[in-house]
Structure 1
Amino acid sequence: MTQEKRGITAEDLYQMRYASDPQLSPDGKTLAYVENQIDESHAYQNHLVLRRLDADEPQPLTAGSRDTFPRWSPDGSKISFVSNRSGKPQIWLIEANGGEARQLTHCKNGVSNPIWSPDGNYIVFSSLLDEGETFADQEGTEEKVNAKAIHVGRMKYKSDDLGFIYEKNKQLAIVHVETGEVTPLSDGPYNHTIGSWSPDGKWLAITANRAEDPDFQHSIDVFLIPSEGGEWKKLTNSKGTFAYPTWSHDGKKLAYIGSESDTQLYAAQKRIWVYDFEKGDYTCITADWDVQVGDSTIGDMRSPGHPNPGAVWTADGRGMYVIASERGNSGIYHVTLDGQVTNVVAGNRNIYGFSLHEKDQTVVAAISDPFTPGDLYQVGLKDGEEKRLTALNKELFAGIELPVPEEMEFVAKDGWKLHGWMLKPVGFEEGKKYPMVLQIHGGPHSMYGNTFFHEFQLLAAKGYAVLYTNPRGSFGYGERFVQACCGDYGGNDYRDLMTAVEYACDHFDFVDEDRLGVAGGSYGGFMTNWIVGKTNRFKAGVTDRSICNWVSFYGVSDIGYYFTAEEIQANPFTNPEKMWQHSPIRLVENIETPLLIMHGEHDYRCPIEQAEQLYVTLKHQGKAPVSFVRFPGASHELSRSGDPRQRVLRLQYTTDWFDSYLVAHQKEKVE
């Protein structure tokens, strides 16, 4: 007898696992990766796992609570990784065949992004250093000082990722693998990011904003640093933002990913650029390919910023493999130097990482889809044959019903083609009417797609149809589409979303038009606020980590003053009227929709004062039911990598709010 399946719950988050950062050994026979889960104390746990590709079962390599970023030594005998087992994240080394790990660095503020030198003698890494600090300052020697006053000298003095950084900057250094001796590579009031070593080990390709005043100049350039010290070489012209520089195997070329634009920082589509050292110049090899390079898919199981391999060169130097995002999917593409593009690992799914062994023509890809939070697959590049290497949620999901999203295409009133998905409720019955929730993604320059979304599946389990779509401003549909919302927030992007609702109500007869809800976070929260200020069509709304006032956002967000200049195309000293015109708080007089406001108290991207303004104004006005939930200690990443207990509470608050106004009210109406 087949056991009846249940819907997913908020608490199932505690049981879910996913794999990330696959790294094939130099001989291509063994895979190292990170397994991510939540432990019994409801804290995150990451540990390293090894699996021989010809074996059936993986073997745990480490048992630390937060072990990440595994990287093989060039000879395959050792694996470096980052662990906080000493307190701060430091570089540790372990033999590939197991044993006790050895701590290599002891930096006061921890380290990140360690990369082996080609000869295996050194590892380059980065660390945040404050004024007066050096790489010689060790963890555990710092004195706790409660400052009575802190003098702020620059505008970029806080970060949603790092908190209040004040005068700290990300600097680079090299550590000797055997002696532990550390040699600094960079200094000054600039942030530097590691790229890769040249094949001969003489140079490091890095990216940095070393403008005279980084507060006003936001370009990120590619530099070459001599590994033994000496004069730096700047390869780009300070007219764009570039990342992930990678060398061709013969050392004659360097690829990097980014964009050149005088006006667009966030909405410029990322492309592949190649610097030719013999010619002394660089070109964009994907100028004619109107696709976003990189994974732009948004979900709620992993935070943005998963380790990106960049452009992975073929051995002959004629092309490279990259991840790119297109129409709700992210896949692996082969791109030649003359711009020919082939999708080599495709499908309706989200590829968020990969490792290549070209000799064996094998890729191991980290993949998510609407039923998979994140597992690893081995893919043959010659025949496309796939072998699933992990199934981390097989047992948990065996008893859970996960509805299949239905793809939909429709047309905006001005003729623009739009794209989205409908998720039916768990236990769907023909002829029955269901409440529907419109979900709106953040960014706005990201995209919904074929990835796992716990919140959507939870709403479906609670009896809701879930509509999610990519309005103008989303990645995945070309550069004109992604830039179309700039200067027009609340314009055609709003109309796209309302068109999606109209299409869903007209084409899905199970949608109850009298029981519609709307929800979103970040930009999606802004748009939720805007929608309930424009229409009373929705019976309940949930706004999460939102923006309501662009005038104040300009000065309080960690990216406010330059994000607003690009996205709203306004500032307080030349056209504050435009900022106010796009601010949802301007529409509060119209709001009658019951609204739940949720916000993290340590959100520096969209600071909590945005929620406070909206809550007090709505409460004072007294026209609409409003509730305010604050999450102490939570950053802007609350829904993706925040405290697991807060993530569960947030989901419970969301479903309870919709139940109160879309389900309970309907029952009262029937009775």
Structure 2
Amino acid sequence: MQARDIETLISVGRPDVAADGSFAVFATSRPDLDANRTVGQVWRVELPGGTPRRLTRGTADTAPRLSPDGSQLAFLRADGARKPQVHVVAASGGEPVQATDAPLGVEQFAWSPDGATIAFLARVPEKGRYGSVEGLEPHAEAPRRITGVRWHANGLGYAADRPAHLFVVAAPQPDSEPFYEPAAAVRADDAEPVRKRVLAAEARALTSGPTSHSRIVFTADGRELLTVPDEIETERRDLRSRLVAVALDGSGVREVLGADAGLSVLDVAVAGDGAIGILAHEVGDGLDFVAPGVGVFLLEDTGPRRLTDAETIHLGEGHLTAVDADFLAQDTTRGRVRLLRISREGVIAEVLGGDVEVGGHAAVGGQVVAAVSRPDSFGELVLVGDEPRTLTAFGAAAAASGIVLPRELTVTGRDGYPVHGWVATPEGEGPFPVILQIHGGPFAAYGVHLFDETQVLVDAGYAVVYCNPRGSAGYGRAHGRSIRQQMGTVDFADVIDFLEGAIADDDRLDGGRVGVQGGSYGGYLTAWVIAHDHRFAGAIVERGFLEPVSFQGTSDIGSFFGDEYVGVSPDDIARQSPMAVVGQVTTPTLVMHSELDFRCPLEQATRYYSALKRQGTEAELLVFPGEDHELTRSGQPRHRVERFDAVLDWWRRHLPVT
């Protein structure tokens, strides 16, 4: 696979299933270099084994959800200003009808149980900002007064001046009379020109004020909406959530789950009998998020009851679905993401496992479908059963571009700890120069899915080794928490031991020619590695967490991330800070970063790069305009290719294949 082959990486989003189980819908997306954006449409497939067909023809149609009776389909489509709006179309296909006209677009939506109403979450701009006053440019807006401990978010920007609120709107009928362009002339009895109507009904706001909201789920009777308020703290970050029910008739708000329960809520699902399940994790004093034991809780009169084990199961990758009296959720384990069915008694059954990463799922009774990625495919839709049935063949294009299947490996580390990972090698006898890849997070994981960053390097002639060191997800909570305020210790040992073990295991890998690269936490550990191990011919430090001191006041998660992972005392911070040991770096280093990265802000890169240059270490800095922390996953396709070009150019110069 070469850089431009990212166009073949077709992903499958969260699907939905008709109430009678007869068909499923899903959306695909892929990078398009000519359009320089991610494109995709909504598809329909008859169950159990029909041929998928494209149902819509928009540029970027996403998040399809069927009405309760399965006759209509709502989805998000960007309007002329590229703001996603809810559209509705007959489930059999046809011309979509626009249902919302939110000035900043719609973030989430849900059908009411009777199918008559669509509820949605949309950000409401403060008057005079974000185009709410025509002709007022951003540089001329009034100053922002900030009194809380957080004010911005990666991929969004300033947050407090555009809170997300709940709205409801009558669901439009797809077969209704369309609206027509009015004549330009003004009728004699009109004071103003007639304006074209866009929507059949106006949305009604259910919430207002500075408090933002996330999650939106109807109660079983359709009278209330469950949502998680997000109030910006004034003194200290607090990750504990509240869950409230907002009455559609405007009669008030009631609290379903209080902050005193000590849970951070990630998703909510309502069963047919009205029972409420939540996907959540305990946060202790409100800040402890390191390696959270995300699980399913059932809300009872006496409070939330955990149904899954916090130490061995992590359900943080995905969403929660109520099916009959049970719940479906996705568990991260050893580089895989499996689908589990959890009963209210806490009985767990694996619904879909093996060499897959489940990215989304849906179920009606016994009919379950899942969006998955695999070693040979970036995304497919699978009908789950005794023998899972793949309903799509989107991976064929990527496979035709040329991919390798990595080899799984476990290495025993210096302290006897097993380090699990993979090795991907080009065809041939070698010897191949070796690149050590390090993932972000740190509580994340490399997996078994087709990974373009590995494939492009292998295509260029490099052997790539990558593992899930201590601190990663998918190996139990103790594994994930082992680097809390001990960063750069056992995680450093694990990646080095895995590199050496992989080289010793395969004589085609040239241990005398090695490089290292990583992004985010991987950028942190790359910077830490080259300060303590000088075997590497070169390094790439990308979007790194490099200076914990300034991270606290610049990152969107700075109010708690560094405090929990590296501590608060100057000695603890210095003991784990790449900037504190930058003087030890002699490895030629390419520092890559995005201009609008608010997760690991640009100053992390520029300070690190400046220190390298000042001390005489060979270094280069590459900054991508208009991109944020997600460049490698969802950035502009041309920038993603240019990034690959820069990576390969750096390795050609510092770690040539021949």
Distance 1:371 1:654 in 2: 24
Corresponding letter in the other structure for 1:629:
L
Distance 1:153 1:81 in 2: 37
Structure 1 residues 197 and 166, CA gap change in structure 2 (3 angstroms): closer
Partner of 1:368: 373
1:77 deviates by: 1.6
Q: What secondary structure, in the 3-state scheme, does the structure 2 residue paired with 1:267 have?
A: coil
Structure 1 residues 138 and 510, CA gap change in structure 2 (3 angstroms): closer
User: Do the aligned residues in 2 keep the contact of 1:195 with 1:243 (CA within 8 Å)?
Assistant: no
Partner of 2:181: none
Structure 1 residues 288 and 628, CA gap change in structure 2 (3 angstroms): closer
Confirm whether residue 650 of structure 1 aligns to residue 643 of structure 2: yes
Structure 1 residues 447 and 588, CA gap change in structure 2 (3 angstroms): same
2:242 to 206, 215, 221: 221
Partner of 1:588: 582
Q: Deviations over 1:606-625 (max 9, x none)?
A: 11111111111111211x32
Structure 1 residues 38 and 418, CA gap change in structure 2 (3 angstroms): closer
Q: What secondary structure, in the 3-state scheme, does the structure 1 residue paired with 2:612 have?
A: helix
Partner of 2:258: 236
Structure 1 residues 592-631: aligned runs within 5 Å: 592-622=586-616, 624-631=617-624
Distance 1:609 1:368 in 2: 35
1:243 deviates by: 2.1
Structure 1 residues 255 and 611, CA gap change in structure 2 (3 angstroms): closer
Q: What secondary structure, in the 3-state scheme, does the structure 2 residue paired with 1:21 have?
A: coil
TM-score (norm 2): 0.90
1:67 deviates by: 1.3
Distance 1:141 1:385 in 2: 58
Corresponding letter in the other structure for 1:290:
T
Q: What secondary structure, in the 3-state scheme, does the structure 2 residue paired with 1:149 have?
A: coil
Structure 1 residues 487-506: aligned runs within 5 Å: 487-506=485-504
1:274 deviates by: 0.5
1:75 to 35, 48, 69: 69
Unaligned segments of structure 1, at least 5 residues: 1-7, 296-307
User: Do the aligned residues in 2 keep the contact of 1:23 with 1:71 (CA within 8 Å)?
Assistant: yes
Q: What secondary structure, in the 3-state scheme, does the structure 1 residue paired with 2:529 have?
A: helix
Corresponding letter in the other structure for 1:226:
A
1:253 deviates by: 4.1
Confirm whether residue 428 of structure 1 aligns to residue 452 of structure 2: no
Q: What secondary structure, in the 3-state scheme, does the structure 2 residue paired with 1:649 have?
A: helix
User: Do the aligned residues in 2 keep the contact of 1:30 with 1:50 (CA within 8 Å)?
Assistant: yes
1:100 deviates by: 1.7
Distance 1:281 1:419 in 2: 38
Distance 2:440 2:319 in 1: 24
Q: What secondary structure, in the 3-state scheme, does the structure 1 residue paired with 2:19 have?
A: coil
Confirm whether residue 23 of structure 1 aligns to residue 28 of structure 2: no
Partner of 2:384: 379
Partner of 2:177: none
Distance 1:552 1:347 in 2: 42
Distance 2:135 2:104 in 1: 9
Greater CA drift, 279-288 or 490-499: 279-288
Partner of 1:261: 284
User: Do the aligned residues in 1 keep the contact of 2:149 with 2:232 (CA within 8 Å)?
Assistant: no
Partner of 1:151: 145
Corresponding letter in the other structure for 1:391:
A
Partner of 2:268: 245
Partner of 1:105: 100
User: Do the aligned residues in 2 keep the contact of 1:291 with 1:478 (CA within 8 Å)?
Assistant: yes
Corresponding letter in the other structure for 2:478:
R
1:289 deviates by: 5.9
Corresponding letter in the other structure for 2:54:
P
Confirm whether residue 546 of structure 1 aligns to residue 552 of structure 2: no
**Percent identity, aligned pairs only?**
30
Q: What secondary structure, in the 3-state scheme, does the structure 1 residue paired with 2:45 have?
A: strand
User: Do the aligned residues in 2 keep the contact of 1:195 with 1:244 (CA within 8 Å)?
Assistant: no
Partner of 1:457: 455
Structure 1 residues 314 and 92, CA gap change in structure 2 (3 angstroms): closer
Structure 1 residues 633 and 658, CA gap change in structure 2 (3 angstroms): same
Corresponding letter in the other structure for 2:428:
F
Q: Deviations over 1:497-543 (max 9, x none)?
A: 11112212222222211111101000000111111111101111111
User: Do the aligned residues in 2 keep the contact of 1:14 with 1:42 (CA within 8 Å)?
Assistant: no
Q: Deviations over 1:117-149 (max 9, x none)?
A: 001111111111234599xx9989685452263
1:54 deviates by: 5.3
Partner of 1:34: 27
Cα RMSD of the aligned pairs, angstroms, is 2.2
Greater CA drift, 594-603 or 193-202: 193-202
The total of aligned residue pairs comes to 625
Partner of 2:297: 273
Distance 2:236 2:408 in 1: 43
Partner of 2:332: 325
Distance 2:135 2:201 in 1: 20
Confirm whether residue 209 of structure 1 aligns to residue 230 of structure 2: yes
Partner of 1:300: none
Structure 1 residues 408 and 585, CA gap change in structure 2 (3 angstroms): same
Structure 1 residues 255 and 150, CA gap change in structure 2 (3 angstroms): closer
Q: Deviations over 1:228-268 (max 9, x none)?
A: 23231232334220121111211144343333422412421
Distance 2:439 2:225 in 1: 37
Distance 1:144 1:215 in 2: 33
Q: What secondary structure, in the 3-state scheme, does the structure 1 residue paired with 2:419 have?
A: strand
1:55 deviates by: 6.0
User: Do the aligned residues in 2 keep the contact of 1:110 with 1:139 (CA within 8 Å)?
Assistant: no
User: Do the aligned residues in 1 keep the contact of 2:151 with 2:160 (CA within 8 Å)?
Assistant: yes
1:477 deviates by: 0.8
Confirm whether residue 126 of structure 1 aligns to residue 132 of structure 2: no
Distance 2:120 2:454 in 1: 38
User: Do the aligned residues in 2 keep the contact of 1:16 with 1:393 (CA within 8 Å)?
Assistant: yes
Distance 1:138 1:579 in 2: 42
Distance 2:342 2:530 in 1: 45
Distance 1:120 1:65 in 2: 26
User: Do the aligned residues in 2 keep the contact of 1:222 with 1:243 (CA within 8 Å)?
Assistant: no
Partner of 1:411: 412
Partner of 1:3: none
Corresponding letter in the other structure for 1:451:
H
Distance 1:196 1:148 in 2: 36
1:313 to 319, 322, 333: 322
Distance 1:630 1:130 in 2: 30
Confirm whether residue 578 of structure 1 aligns to residue 600 of structure 2: no
User: Do the aligned residues in 2 keep the contact of 1:48 with 1:62 (CA within 8 Å)?
Assistant: yes
User: Do the aligned residues in 1 keep the contact of 2:290 with 2:481 (CA within 8 Å)?
Assistant: no
Partner of 1:299: none
Q: What secondary structure, in the 3-state scheme, does the structure 2 residue paired with 1:156 have?
A: coil
User: Do the aligned residues in 2 keep the contact of 1:549 with 1:584 (CA within 8 Å)?
Assistant: yes
Corresponding letter in the other structure for 2:323:
T
Partner of 1:304: none
Q: What secondary structure, in the 3-state scheme, does the structure 1 residue paired with 2:340 have?
A: strand
User: Do the aligned residues in 2 keep the contact of 1:65 with 1:85 (CA within 8 Å)?
Assistant: no
Structure 1 residues 155 and 513, CA gap change in structure 2 (3 angstroms): same
User: Do the aligned residues in 2 keep the contact of 1:516 with 1:538 (CA within 8 Å)?
Assistant: yes
Q: Deviations over 1:635-664 (max 9, x none)?
A: 000110001111111112112211222226
Corresponding letter in the other structure for 2:406:
P
Distance 2:603 2:92 in 1: 52
Partner of 1:5: none
Partner of 1:635: 628
Q: What secondary structure, in the 3-state scheme, does the structure 2 residue paired with 1:502 have?
A: helix
Distance 2:505 2:284 in 1: 41
Distance 1:661 1:282 in 2: 55
Confirm whether residue 351 of structure 1 aligns to residue 351 of structure 2: no
User: Do the aligned residues in 2 keep the contact of 1:522 with 1:546 (CA within 8 Å)?
Assistant: yes
